[in-house]
Structure 1
Amino acid sequence: MTSTTPDSRATAHPLPLPPRLRPGTALYRAGTGRTVLRAADGELFEIALPDPAIAAVHAALTGPDGAGLPPELDAFAAAGHLGARPGWPAGRRRVGVVRTPADPGALAPLAAALTLAGAIALPLDPGDDPERLAAADVDALCWLHDGPAPRSWTRLDALADRGVAWQRISREGRHVLIEPVAARPGDVRHADVRARRLAAAGSGHRHLTAYWDGAAAGELTLGDE
């Protein structure tokens, strides 16, 4: 653990209003007279400040506005411990979300997270034809599939050419596959992921292909989930 003494005479840095710790950062008490800051990267710092100064810092970090900011906050800002969750781009807020098999309730946590981040979550019908999904008025499409990836995903790879971000998450047994987001020409798409996985499988590529085909046809005998 590193010890540090914030200096109220440090060069002032622009403070967010209201000031907040960076996401992933925590300031807490650890025993009598000890205050610790866990930085966003996991490093621990013991903060050598008197109790009144710590109380003022805590009040400023949890208060509703930026009135009465203690000078010690400048040191927190200089060390990079203040900040906020990045705002969602205003021009790309419409995010279509799909889940298969269809379960509207399962989309609620994802929609809530997108809303918290500043996006507008738009549940889409998973029964829609891929061309209809591609034509939906969205800036991004996120599809979660509880099983091996649907074949139709390769037909949606063209979304990136239209400037629509294309995110794919699927599950194979106990493994969840989060594929890279394709948002522009040249990005890795679902067809690329399939090809690379087959190449990495070597002589087992025939078995992997048969697994995907069996899932698409509903012909897998599965263990308990």
Structure 2
Amino acid sequence: MTSEPRILPLPDTGAHLVIGADGRPRIRLRTGRLVLVDAPAAALVEALESGAHGERSTALDRLTLEVQERESADALHRWPQERRDVCLLGTGPLVHDLERVLAAWGARVAVLDPEAAPSEHAALVVAYAEDASGRRRWAELDRLPERGTAWLRVHREGEVVLIDPLAVDPGDPTSVQVAARRVAASSAPASTEAWQRARPLTPGALDDATRALVLARLLHTILAWAQEDAELDRLRTTLWKVVPATGSVSAHTVLPFPAAPRRVIR
């Protein structure tokens, strides 16, 4: 004989008690995983349905504590404690959106003026620039990985938005190297370099679709860094670009190159 299926939320957690047609109680964790419970289904249902007006059973208290411990471990996996301090340099809706989504997933986010010095406690610095003047300090900030701080750059060129490779080690591509690679690969290098150095008028705010694409890519990259995901190596050599005019999204490999030797004046 089968039992009527039941689904009941487990208090103080994001989990649910699920009793299927087989009558066996299982907990559906926030991750979607189903875990068999070693307790009578009827006793758990009665304890959950009695709510605050009934006596909490020992089995329910033990189950709740175990689920809470699992949820705490999941939160640490999503954003490890030692990588939670993130500093955003920039202004505008995209920066505010990024602050909001990172904080929602456990990061400690500080938003600073583009001209401000990043916090020494930051494990990651993300900069957003809308024109060449906003990238003025990036060559200086390219040294952040030397002190163990990850470094990620987002910039607009007119309507086009680019996300540079994530720099984790001093040997990763710098903002200067990325710009040089793009000039070298251009069919009109002089014009490309002029565009990079000039301060053209920035068009209006990013449209919702572009902002959503950029935000998703940023979150994907930052999570890969925070969790030390296997994809991190590829992200450290990938320039990402979205062109709203055509709706095209592309990724381009950018490798670092040795710095030119300093000229010695005698």
TM-score for the superposition, normalised by structure 1: 0.55
Q: Secondary structure at the match of 1:109?
A: helix
Equivalent residue, structure 1, for 2:100: 112
Q: Is the 8 A contact 1:134 1:156 kept in 2?
A: no
Q: Check whether the contact 2:152–2:164 (CA below 8 A) recurs between aligned residues.
A: yes
Q: 1:212 to 1:91 in 2, by over 3 A?
A: same
User: 1:191 and 1:70 mapped to 2: Cα distance?
Assistant: 62
Cα pair distance change 1:162/1:68, threshold 3 Å = farther
Greater alpha carbon shift after TM alignment, 155-164 vs 142-151? 142-151
Q: CA deviation at 1:158?
A: 0.8
Aligned structure 1 segments of 4 or more residues deviating by more than 6 angstroms: 52-55
8 A contact 2:86–2:109 mirrored in 1: yes
Quick one: distance in 2 between partners of 1:182 and 1:85? 23
Aligned position for 1:96: 87
Answer whether contact 2:6 2:19 (CA < 8 A) is retained: no
1:112-169 alpha-carbon deviations (Å, 9 max, x no partner): 11112211001112222xxxx2563211101111234613212111111211010111
What is the root-mean-square deviation of aligned Cα atoms in Å? 4.2
Of 152, 159, 177, 1:192 maps to 177
Q: State the percentage of identical aligned residues.
A: 28
Closer/same/farther in 2, CA of residues 64 and 124 from structure 1, 3 Å limit: same
TM-score under structure 2 length normalisation: 0.48
Mapping 1:144-159, distance limit 5 Å? 144-148=128-132, 150-159=135-144
CA contact (8 A) 1:134 1:159 kept: no
SS state of the match for residue 91, structure 1?
Answer: helix
Structure 2 residue identity aligned to 1:154: A
Give me the whole-angstrom Cα distance separating, in 1, the residues matched to 2:88 and 2:154: 11
- Tell whether the 8 Å contact from 1:143 to 1:169 is kept in structure 2 after alignment: yes
Equivalent residue number for residue 74 of structure 1: none
Q: Structure 2: which 5+ runs fail to align? A: 23-27, 34-73, 206-266
Q: Size of the alignment, in residue pairs?
A: 160
Give the Cα–Cα distance (whole angstroms) in 2 for the partners of residues 136 and 81 of structure 1. Answer: 38
CA–CA separation in structure 1 for the residues paired with 2:84 and 2:109: 8
Note the residue ranges of structure 1 that are not aligned, 5 or more in a row. Answer: 1-51, 72-76
1:107: how far off? Answer: 3.1
Indicate the residue corresponding to 1:201 in structure 2: 186
- Matched residues in 2 for 1:66 and 1:123: separation? 40
1:64 maps to 15
